[in-house]
């Protein structure tokens, strides 16, 4: 017997990774989060997330990092779909398939990216017609970084990172990412930052964005941006993984304009002049064997967006 209605077609959303051009960490708040001032940039390392109507809730992951991603209800994409279903009174389970190429626990917000992609995909699948602002509000419930992965581009984050404001950035920037074998836990890196500060935060008040970084972004010149790259979590990440210090030095010796730990690490992000410099640095860093993988990328790029279905 054929069913009277057909399920909507599966929806696939492409979502970028992020790097923090600036991450200023203020005091620990009463809710356990640190007050932040950050500038995010979305880069073209992508996950693709497909949602399809299914009899039961299910999550599956493919790609080079699949073996270290949970597929149970702790997967952030599952949490995102269930949150949206609960909030909008949708009674339909989905199968979420993640094609993962963003490094896991690498400081590039891969889990947050999958959550953002799932919100955008389920909104389309279920015909909810939510605005970007509404989606970003649900995103903030899932994690501090999640709203930015919906928006993409280059944006400022305040509060715990979830309150976004636009940034005027010209041009495209070329990046080389040195990805480590074993990830770092975000809460552990924040805790190490607190331990190193020992109660004496150099940023006693809520931090403010650096106007020189904003001016550099308006020029579109990577030479202007490189000296402004700042990450208050870098010392903590290097304290937990001293080899990251050597990796940063190697990248600079091989000609990067600037180098920084990406977010809570351990991925190290190098800013380079152009695509040729990105290829040269990728080859040089790969030859050292100091990273699991070295990948070049460009930013800024769009946030989570629906892409045409794959025809296999």
Q: Does 186 bind ligand SUD (CB under 6 A)?
A: yes
Question: x/- string (CB under 6 A) for ligand SUD, residues 154-183?
Answer: ------xx----------------------
**Under a CB-based contact definition with an 8 Å cutoff, are residues 37 and 208 in contact?**
yes
Q: Does 23 bind ligand SUD (CB under 6 A)?
A: yes
Q: Does 183 bind ligand ADP (CB under 6 A)?
A: yes
Q: Cβ–Cβ contacts within 10 Å for residue 38, how many?
A: 26
Q: Does 30 bind ligand SUD (CB under 6 A)?
A: no
For ligand SUD, the binding residue among 11, 15, 36, 176 (CB under 6 A) is 36
Helix axes 132-142, 110-125, angle to 10 degrees: 140
Please choose, out of 57-65, 85-93, 117-125, 141-149, the segment that lies near ligand SUD by the rule CB under 6 A.
141-149
Please choose, out of 72-80, 86-94, 197-205, 243-251, the segment that lies near ligand ADP by the rule CB under 6 A.
72-80
Which residues pair with residue 171 across a beta bridge? none
DSSP letter (8 states) at residue 14? E
Complex with ligand SUD: residue 7 or 208, whichever CB lies closer: 208
Helix, strand counts (H, E) of the chain: 10, 12
DSSP conformation letters of 202-252: S--SPP---HHHHHHHHHT-HHHHGGG-EETTHHHHHHH-THHHHHHHHHH
Q: Does 97 bind ligand ADP (CB under 6 A)?
A: no
DSSP conformation letters of 85-130: HHHTT----EEEEEE--SPTTSSS-HHHHHHHHHHHHHHHHTT---
Binding residue per annotation — 252?
A: no
Q: Does 110 bind ligand ADP (CB under 6 A)?
A: yes
For ligand SUD, the binding residue among 37, 144, 201, 282 (CB under 6 A) is 144
Binding residue per annotation — 85?
A: no
For ligand SUD, the binding residues (CB under 6 A) are: 20, 23, 32-34, 36, 38, 107, 109, 112, 143-145, 160-161, 186-187, 190, 263-264
């Amino acid at each position: 017997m054929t069913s009277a209605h057909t399920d909507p077609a599966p929806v696939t959303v492409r979502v970028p990774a992020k790097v923090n051009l600036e991450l200023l960490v203020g005091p620990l708040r009463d809710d356990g989060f640190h007050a932040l001032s950050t500038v995010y940039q979305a880069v073209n390392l992508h996950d693709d997330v497909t949602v399809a109507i299914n009899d039961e809730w299910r999550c599956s992951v493919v790609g080079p990092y699949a073996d270290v991603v949970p597929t149970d209800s702790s997967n952030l994409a599952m949490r995102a779909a269930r949150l949206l279903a609960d909030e909008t009174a949708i009674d339909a389970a989905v199968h979420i398939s993640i094609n993962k190429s963003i490094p896991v626990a690498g400081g590039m917000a891969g889990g947050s990216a999958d959550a953002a992609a799932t919100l955008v995909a389920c909104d389309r699948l279920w015909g909810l017609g939510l605005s970007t602002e509404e989606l970003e509000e649900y995103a903030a419930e899932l994690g501090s970084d999640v709203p930015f992965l919906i928006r993409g581009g280059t944006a400022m984050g305040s509060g715990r990172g979830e309150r976004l404001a636009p940034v005027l950035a010209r041009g495209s920037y070329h990046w080389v990412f040195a990805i480590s074998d074993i990830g770092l836990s975000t809460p552990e890196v924040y805790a190490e930052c607190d331990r190193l500060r020992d109660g004496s935060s150099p940023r006693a008040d809520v931090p403010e964005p650096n106007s020189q970084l904003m001016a550099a972004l308006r020029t579109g010149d990577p030479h202007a941006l490189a000296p402004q790259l700042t990450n208050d979590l870098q010392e903590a990440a290097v304290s937990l993984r001293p080899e990251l210090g050597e990796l940063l030095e190697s990248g600079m010796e091989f000609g990067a304009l600037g180098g920084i730990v990406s977010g809570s690490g351990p991925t190290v992000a190098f800013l380079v002049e152009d695509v040729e410099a990105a290829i040269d640095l990728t080859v040089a860093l790969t030859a050292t064997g100091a990273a699991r993988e070295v990948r070049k990328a460009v930013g800024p790029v769009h946030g989570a967006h629906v892409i045409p279905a794959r025809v296999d």
